[in-house]
Amino acid sequence: MKRFLITRSFTLLIGLVLSSLIIFVTLRLLPGDVAQVIGGSQASPEKILDIREKLGLNFPLHMQYLDWIKGIATGDLGNSILTGSSVQAEILQKAEVTVPLTVYSLLIGLVIALPLGVFTAYRHQTKVSKAVSLFSIVAAAVPVVWAGLLGILFFSTWLGWLPSQGFPREGWDDPLAAIRALTLPALTIGLIEGAILFRFVKSATFAALDAEHVRAAMSRGRTRFNALIGHGLPAVGLSIISMLGLQIASLLVGAVVIEQLFNLPGLGRMLIVDVGNRDLLKVQSTLFVLTAVILVLGALIDVVHRLIDPRMRIGE
């Protein structure tokens, strides 16, 4: 276990450095003078000089990179070029919307996918199972924007149950209103994510039903259902945990589009606005934070998987 922790931390570190390099280099590929692009064509020469100064463009590239990394390591993500405000303060503030939204969507996705996936694999010959499977592949083909628009149409315009736009001004001081505001967005992402998760749960359950130890349990007189619940499901749970790492990335990406659609003041919406404003330093730091979150969570999931899966401990 110790050995595993060391190697995994090492690969995580390499991953973080590599992703920071990819982001940094790509954003410096910008053709022409960065300061000129940010300032706009009407900017006065003094303003351009000021921007160059703020961005540290007068230094060589590797110095700029090291400066940025040093800032990240000490918890300073820099300041916005346009407003001068601290980037990490704003990221923390926006995360109050994005993180609950992501968790909420994941919960909805799991609540849909787990029981349905196990059931359809257990009773895969029935008409209901076939219908659910067909629905899942269609749902996975729906663009997230369209699902959101249909959700707005159905739940807000026609039924009037849920708000279709915005987040309460008081934020989480009014938890009920905040949850209500996030429900429709989370439902949108959760349904599509659930359709993808469903297919994993279903194939994992299929594999579990066919596993030797489950078949052995059945041969000892356990019913098929009993053997699946008692002996098969732990393996299903493990394969879902190892799946979650990849799903977190796609949930975060779904949040970028959905925040725009539902006018939610989250990280994704901030990123889109910053890209529009060419606030490069902020885009650079935000992108890094998002990828770092995905990489760190991926590593954590690996560790958890290792901890709870007895098969992984063989040979230690």
Partner 1 sequence: MTVFKAFRMVGQTGKGQFAYTVLGLLILLAAMSYVWLPHDPNYAQGWNAWLPMSLEHPLGTDGSGRDVASRLIAGTRITVLVAVGTGIVSGVIGVVLATAQTLGPKLLREPLAIFIDVLIAFPTLLMAIMFTAVFTGGIPIVIIAVGVGFGVQIARVVRAEMRQILGADYILAARASGVTGFRLLMRHILPNISSVLTVQISLSMGLAILAESGLSYLGFGAPPGVSSWGRMLEETQRYISIHPEVVFWPGFAITLTVLAFYLLGDALRETLDPKLTKKQVLRRTSLGVQG
Binding residues for partner 1, rule: CB under 8 A, are 11, 14-15, 18-19, 22-23, 26-27, 29-31, 130-131, 133-134, 136-138, 140-146, 149-150, 152-153, 157, 199, 203, 206, 249-250, 252-253, 256-257, 260-261, 271-272, 275-276, 278, 280, 283, 287, 290-291, 294-295, 298
Specify the residue, 264 or 271, whose C-beta has the smaller distance to partner 1: 271
Specify the residue, 142 or 179, whose C-beta has the smaller distance to partner 1: 142
Specify the residue, 179 or 253, whose C-beta has the smaller distance to partner 1: 253
Specify the residue, 217 or 257, whose C-beta has the smaller distance to partner 1: 257
Residue 121 Cβ, how far from partner 1 at the closest point, in Å? 10
Residue 162 Cβ, how far from partner 1 at the closest point, in Å? 14
Neighbours of 84 (CB within 10 A): 8
CA distances from 194 to 109, 115, 146, 271, 278 (A): 4, 11, 16, 26, 35
What SS3 state is found at 79?
Answer: strand
User: Angle at CA 170, nearest 5°, toward 164 and 174?
Assistant: 80
Cβ atoms of 171 and 178 within 8 Å: the answer is yes
Report residue 111 as tokens.
Answer: 């609540």
Residue 15 Cβ, how far from partner 1 at the closest point, in Å? 5
Residue 169 Cβ, how far from partner 1 at the closest point, in Å? 23
Q: In sequence order, what are the residues at sequence separation of 6 or more whose Cβ sits closer than 8 angstroms to the Cβ of residue 168?
A: 174, 177, 178, 181
Specify the residue, 227 or 280, whose C-beta has the smaller distance to partner 1: 280
Residue 131 Cβ, how far from partner 1 at the closest point, in Å? 7
Specify the residue, 87 or 295, whose C-beta has the smaller distance to partner 1: 295
CA distance 186 to 191: 8
CA distance 87 to 54: 14
Cβ atoms of 110 and 197 within 8 Å: the answer is yes
Q: How far apart are the first and last CA of the chain?
A: 7
The total number of residues written for the chain in this structure: 316
What SS3 state is found at 44?
Answer: coil
Residue 174 Cβ, how far from partner 1 at the closest point, in Å? 25
Report which of 206, 204, 203 is spatially closest to residue 137, judged by C-alpha positions: 203
Residue 16 Cβ, how far from partner 1 at the closest point, in Å? 9
Residue 99 Cβ, how far from partner 1 at the closest point, in Å? 16
Cβ atoms of 17 and 11 within 8 Å: the answer is no
Specify the residue, 65 or 179, whose C-beta has the smaller distance to partner 1: 65
CA distance 188 to 194: 10
Specify the residue, 186 or 287, whose C-beta has the smaller distance to partner 1: 287
